[in-house]
Structure 1
Amino acid sequence: MNELIPFHQMTSEQFLTKLQTQLEHRHLLDEHRNLSLSDCSEQEFLEFFFIEKIFSHEKKLSPHTIKAYRSDAKTLLVFLSEHKLSFRDIGYPEVKAYNKYIREKYAPKSAIRKLEFFRRLLDFGYETQFYQVHLSTWISKPSAKKGHYIIEETRSEAAQTRIQVRELNQRDAEYLISFFPKIVKAHQNREQLEKRNILIGYLLYTTGLRASELLSLNWGSFRYNYQGYLYADVIGKGNKPRTIPIRDETKDRLFDYRKSLGESTEINPEDVSPLFFALYNKKKPYEDKKRLTYPSLYKIVKQAVHLAGKQSKISPHWFRHTFVTMLLEQDVPLAVVKDWAGHSDISTTNIYLERVNQDHSHRHLNKVNLFR
């Protein structure tokens, strides 16, 4: 009977019985009744790693995070295949070779993530007796520059680089958002698509929402406080809830969008239908609301960037950096910015403040009397 019950619906007794039977049948328990993968196949080892270390926690992983884990696993598998190695062949020289390969091929932040994935895999192997030694001790991660930067080569013949901040100034941000509705080419639902796109631009720019947070918004995510101001309740990184105030300009575009869809503008906290959904080739009433995906959002931003003739590397996340920097430049308290941005630690917010202070350093220098 238990065979037909999903794990998450089982009682603790059913779950224990099921797990005992499975592990004992596959000889995956040692004499201390600890999980032992010393004799399992490499496929089983990788499967158990993902089950126990990647998908076991209660937090729901975003599609972006899942994609990153799969990419990290693929990078390791490709390396092993190219060098005719298996997981069981991994030892000190293989760890050092993979470490070197990753550090040379990827930018610091990507290299750190991929080596962290490798470290977790090796630690899991040691914990489950797949590996007899603690191999992860030989991993050496690169250091990454803190903050929101991209590095570009200034000259192909030299190693000199320049740091470019991944954010927009106020004028460029407003100019770019004006192109969000202009990219719409479809005739069906044209008005709705245009109003949807301009709302997306305003939400990115005036709330600092992460792309995943914006796409997760429902109509019920919005509410009025007792003073009559509109707020959005979002579930952020690490499954942490936070509340963000909505500016009147954004509120107006939110209601314009809802009206264009023929939807009610009455705030309803019980409404869990997605705020943004695919509109192409859809007819009223919009019953089958498939939530807008990140590739679709990314495409909207990229097409607007292209039409506006702006820097091609601009992505949805640039608006988040822009929002945080503009708040700090206009003296919004650091703690308030931290809460609005959903930073887990104020040191992250402080990175922005340090750069804002650097950019304003000329103000102090000009006050200094250096010449008589």
Structure 2
Amino acid sequence: MNDLTLFDHVTSDQYLSHLKNKLEHRQLLDEHRNLSLTDSSEQDFLEMFFLEKILSADRELSPHTLKAYRSDAKTLLIFLTEHSLSFRDIGFPEVKAYNKYIKDKYAAKSAIRKLEFFRRLLDFGYKTQFYKAHLSTWISKPPAKKGHYIIEETRPEERQTRVQVRELNQRDAEYVISFFPEVVKAKQNREQLQKRNLLIGYLLYTTGLRASELLSLNWGSFRYNRQGFLFADVIGKGGKARTLPIREETSDLLFNYRKCIGESVEIDPYDTSPLFFALYNKKEPYTDKKRLTYPSLYKIVKEAVHLAGKNSHVSPHWFRHTFVTMLLENDVPLAVVKDWAGHSDISTTNLYLERINQDNTHVHLQKVNLFR
């Protein structure tokens, strides 16, 4: 997006001179040598915002996160275009109007994310003198709902009528996973695809991996500990590393899948080849391994859900919620669940526990003698 991003690839001793020359050439420094966009073009403003606040080199964004940022930027651009506004035109009335537009059009979770993107853009504009006022102070986000829910609008006269938890019970989760191999329609590599899909289902269900984490798995991600148990080393959200134990059932499927595709079953920590890759129209040996994409994973889950006749809203992330809930229902310590799930704060994990406790209130009620 920005030719300044090319500096990520220059050496440390070259970085300063390259960056200084580019900023001075584009007149983006003030008399105090600070970044100033007072007289910059709107293109420079947007490029610098994405470079410094979105595409900064200190973290690697997942394709899902980048897609969300693009969506948020597109929403704002559409609003400005519809009202014949430029970024320079944004002031108090425009902030309030966009705030209302987002709240009216989107559910709380999406509205919060889009308004947070807007807030970051306005704050960056204020810090770089593109805007003379601290406009983000006028943004008001809708209250966030606790936990992992979806909103089902069952009555058109009411905006929200029922909240449903985005997870499966144990029986339904196992049933849906049993259909993962059944979605394979191809004749070529049919057995390999079926074993791959079943392993995907088991990993989602028994590890709580995010979709991006599962798709990023390499053969070298797996290792044995000193006691001989299999683990997977995962790079999660925000580049945070964590280690997950692999259940015996999942381990068996993993090695069966490797054997079926003609790959080595010897653990190799230096093997960076993708665990899951496209197998359609491929012939052994699988030399050109194109990593499986999120749309492909999403399609597998959706088709399995359809065949199983379950809730059409089910997505890969539902298995993560199911995993966390099942751990807590089986009295796995909260701190252990937090680490396994890769939650940045234990309060996130505690939201699951609060709902589990709410669901179990009938147990306490039955202990009370209300009738004599």
Q: TM-score range by the shorter chain?
A: over 0.9
Which SS does the other structure have where 1:74 is aligned? helix
Work out the CA distance in 2 between the residues paired with 1:176 and 1:222: 26
Work out the CA distance in 1 between the residues paired with 2:360 and 2:274: 41
Work out the CA distance in 2 between the residues paired with 1:145 and 1:68: 20
Letter in 2 for 1:218: N
Work out the CA distance in 1 between the residues paired with 2:307 and 2:154: 26
Which SS does the other structure have where 2:176 is aligned? helix
Residue matched to 1:227 = 227
Alignment of 1:318-333 (within 5 A): 318-333=318-333
Letter in 2 for 1:123: D
Which SS does the other structure have where 2:151 is aligned? strand
Residue matched to 1:265 = 265
Residue matched to 1:95 = 95
Residue matched to 1:151 = 151
- Are the counterparts in 1 of residues 7 and 19 from structure 2 also a CA contact under 8 Å? no
**Match status 1:47 vs 2:54:** no
Which SS does the other structure have where 1:264 is aligned? coil
Letter in 2 for 1:261: I
Render the CA deviation track for 1:62-120: whole Å, top value 9, x for unaligned: 00000000000000000000000000000000000000000000011110110111011
- Measured after TM superposition, the shift of residue 303 of structure 1 is 0.7
Residue matched to 2:347 = 347
Size of the alignment, in residue pairs?
A: 369
Work out the CA distance in 2 between the residues paired with 1:102 and 1:319: 30
**Match status 1:250 vs 2:247:** no
Which SS does the other structure have where 1:35 is aligned? coil
Work out the CA distance in 1 between the residues paired with 2:184 and 2:18: 53
Render the CA deviation track for 1:181-228: whole Å, top value 9, x for unaligned: 001000111000000000000000000000000000001111111111
- Measured after TM superposition, the shift of residue 40 of structure 1 is 1.4
Residue matched to 2:184 = 184
Work out the CA distance in 1 between the residues paired with 2:226 and 2:233: 15
Work out the CA distance in 2 between the residues paired with 1:261 and 1:119: 49
Letter in 2 for 1:185: K
- Are the counterparts in 1 of residues 219 and 274 from structure 2 also a CA contact under 8 Å? yes
Which SS does the other structure have where 2:265 is aligned? coil
**150-159 or 360-369, larger mean C-alpha shift:** 150-159
Residue matched to 1:164 = 164
**Match status 1:214 vs 2:214:** yes
Letter in 1 for 2:300: I
Alignment of 1:1-372 (within 5 A): 6-159=6-159, 161-372=161-372
TM-score (norm 1): 0.97
Render the CA deviation track for 1:127-177: whole Å, top value 9, x for unaligned: 111111111111111111011001112322334511100000011001000
Which SS does the other structure have where 1:141 is aligned? coil
Work out the CA distance in 2 between the residues paired with 1:158 and 1:29: 52
Which SS does the other structure have where 2:64 is aligned? helix
Work out the CA distance in 1 between the residues paired with 2:231 and 2:14: 43
Render the CA deviation track for 1:214-261: whole Å, top value 9, x for unaligned: 000001111111111111110111111111111111011101100110
Work out the CA distance in 2 between the residues paired with 1:158 and 1:67: 31
Which SS does the other structure have where 2:242 is aligned? strand
- Are the counterparts in 1 of residues 151 and 160 from structure 2 also a CA contact under 8 Å? no
Gaps of 5+ in 1: none
Work out the CA distance in 1 between the residues paired with 2:36 and 2:155: 53
Work out the CA distance in 2 between the residues paired with 1:160 and 1:67: 27
Which SS does the other structure have where 1:164 is aligned? strand
- Measured after TM superposition, the shift of residue 6 of structure 1 is 4.7
Q: Which runs of 4+ in 1 moved over 6 A?
A: none
**25-34 or 281-290, larger mean C-alpha shift:** 25-34
Which SS does the other structure have where 1:278 is aligned? coil
Render the CA deviation track for 1:10-40: whole Å, top value 9, x for unaligned: 3333111111111111111111111111111
Letter in 2 for 1:59: R
- Are the counterparts in 1 of residues 8 and 57 from structure 2 also a CA contact under 8 Å? no
Work out the CA distance in 2 between the residues paired with 1:202 and 1:120: 39
Distance change in 2, residues 1:104/1:27 (3 Å): same
Work out the CA distance in 1 between the residues paired with 2:200 and 2:268: 20
- Measured after TM superposition, the shift of residue 368 of structure 1 is 1.5
Q: Say what the alpha-carbon RMSD is for the aligned residues.
A: 1.3
Work out the CA distance in 2 between the residues paired with 1:95 and 1:160: 26
- Are the counterparts in 1 of residues 123 and 136 from structure 2 also a CA contact under 8 Å? yes
Letter in 2 for 1:101: Y
Gaps of 5+ in 2: none
Work out the CA distance in 2 between the residues paired with 1:314 and 1:154: 18
Letter in 2 for 1:197: N
Which SS does the other structure have where 1:251 is aligned? helix
Work out the CA distance in 2 between the residues paired with 1:264 and 1:13: 43
Work out the CA distance in 1 between the residues paired with 2:268 and 2:171: 35
- Measured after TM superposition, the shift of residue 279 of structure 1 is 0.7
- Measured after TM superposition, the shift of residue 8 of structure 1 is 3.0
Identity, % of aligned positions = 80
- Measured after TM superposition, the shift of residue 9 of structure 1 is 3.8
